[in-house]
Chain A
Amino acid sequence: MDNWTFGITMMVCGMGGTILTLWIMSLVMSLLGKLFPYKKEAE
């Protein structure tokens, strides 16, 4: 694979993949927060 294709693929898939993964994870974290809210007594 030539360097140009490699570089562009890494930029698009790598950068895009990182943002997408962290975005999904932040959604999951929000969901966890909603499903299991903080309750003083329980803690």
Chain B
Amino acid sequence: MEEAILNGLQGLISGFLHLEWRSLVMFLIGGTLLWLGIKKDCEPLLLVPIGFGCILVNIPLGNLMGEEGFLRTIYDMGISNELFPLLIFIGIGAMTDFGPVLSNPSTFLLGAAGQFGIFITLALALSLGFPQMEAVCIGIIGACDGPTAIYVTSQYAPQLLGAVSVAAYSYMSLVPVIQPPIMRLMTSEKERTTVMPAMTRKVSKTTKLLFPLVITVLGGLIAPMGLPLLGTIMLGNLMKESGVVARLTKASENEIANVVTLFLGISIGATMAGGAFLRPQTLIILALGFLAICLDTVCGVLFGKVLYALSHGKVNPLIGAAGISAFPMAARVAQREGQKYNKKSYLLMHAMGANAGGQVGSVIAAAVMLSVLSGMGII
């Protein structure tokens, strides 16, 4: 009788007995992510479920990522088969207005410059000794695009999924903090005060309807490995522009995106088990991810400066910083910085064009990278 009671009580304290220092550190990390999301409003839709998932998975004996665990079920349902990032992309496509970039297609190229950080970081990760596919997944943080980073990493380096996703989403939310000092450092007072003429060119409905179709076919032919990414974002955009499937468009940008975001967040948090996450490698990945986003900004502004020179001072180089995927945050940063130096400068619509270019650019960069890897016989 006494023994049974003692055994029963032991069952109640076994969780405490199995508590390791790693679990405690991961509780702190999970708590920090929750604090960033709740108190600092940094990507709360993702950081809150990620932080909670991180705490859940590190509670000993819970076995939530075990074969029958509910977090494993969610993970297998949409992360390991890449479904969740693609569903998110339909919502992103449905929310994105490509009008500004269609009315000034040259800003699309700023979306290419904003992806250079991916490739430079990839080279740096290789030089630091990361295996080739891990280097690719670290570089993809520079896409500044959470779903793309998750799509590539879950496929080719799932062991890095936690670190890469946390880096991608955290830095994305820190774009308003990371970018301005770089933008100021890279531009002269004269360049920053450049006033760009208002965008007057309107885009026909036919062009807006054909855009997603043409881009899907063209992009799919050039980089077929990235077709799921490009196809889903363009499907969302086609639904939005067609105007005839309002229910589907609304469902994609609201209900589906919300449910998937919850599942995506909690299952990413679930990959952050102390044993796998607490390694020196994680710190290096976080540092490289930060560098990738800085390099994107540097290259984007540099390309903006090239356009400034080629246009004889008509393009404000600050819009180059918006050529990343953080939409529409990066465009707002460019607008705010422009206004800071010249109250008559309205860069928002131009920056939105670059930002929409960055949105497609990040997908194209990942698609091109996967297709190059496939061509090399690596994947």
Partner-B contacts on A (CB < 8 A): 1, 3, 6-7, 9-11, 13-15, 17-19, 21-30, 32-33, 36-39, 42-43
Contacts and interface: CB of A to CB of B under 8 A. Distances in A.
Contacts of A9: 372, 376
Interface stretch (B39-47, B109-117, B285-293, B313-321): B109-117
A19 B118 CA distance: 13
Given A14-B368, A18-B365, A18-B368, A25 B108 contact: yes
A38 B109 contact: no
B123 interface: yes
A27 B219 CA distance: 13
Contacts of A19: 109, 112
Nearest to A11: B119
Contacts of A1: 132, 376, 378
A38 B208 CA distance: 11
B361 A10 contact: no
A7 B207 CA distance: 38
Contacts of B202: 38, 43
Given A10-B372, A29-B102, 12 more contacts: A11-B122, A14-B119, A14-B372, A15-B115, A15-B119, A17-B368, A18-B365, A18-B368, A19-B112, A26-B105, A26-B108, A33-B103
Nearest to A43: B205
A6 B309 CA distance: 34
Contacts of A18: 112, 115, 361, 364-365, 368
A43 B99 CA distance: 14
Contacts of B365: 14, 18
Given A25-B218, A26-B108, A7 B126 contact: yes
Contact of A6 (B118, B126, B210): B126
Nearest to A36: B206
Contact of B211 (A3, A7, A29): A29
Interface size class of B (residues with CB under 8 A): 35 or more
Contacts of B207: 29, 32-33, 36, 38
A22 B361 contact: yes
Nearest to B362: A18
Contact of A38 (B112, B115, B204): B204
A26 B223 CA distance: 16
Interface in B324-379: 357, 360-361, 364-365, 368-369, 371-373, 375-376, 378
A2 B210 CA distance: 43
B203 interface: yes
Q: Which has the most chain A C-beta neighbours within 10 Å: B108, B111, B215, B371?
A: B108
A8 B371 CA distance: 16
Please list the 5 inter-chain residue pairs (A to B) with the smallest Cβ-Cβ separation, ordered nearest first. Answer: A17-B368, A38-B202, A36-B206, A29-B105, A26-B108
A10 B122 CA distance: 8
Interface in B102-147: 102-103, 105-106, 108-109, 111-112, 115-116, 118-120, 122-123, 126-127, 132, 135-136
A6 B132 contact: yes
B364 A28 contact: no
B218 A3 contact: no
A43 B208 CA distance: 12
Contacts of A37: 204
Contacts of B106: 26
A19 B378 CA distance: 22
Contacts of A32: 102, 206-207, 210-211, 214
B204 A36 contact: yes
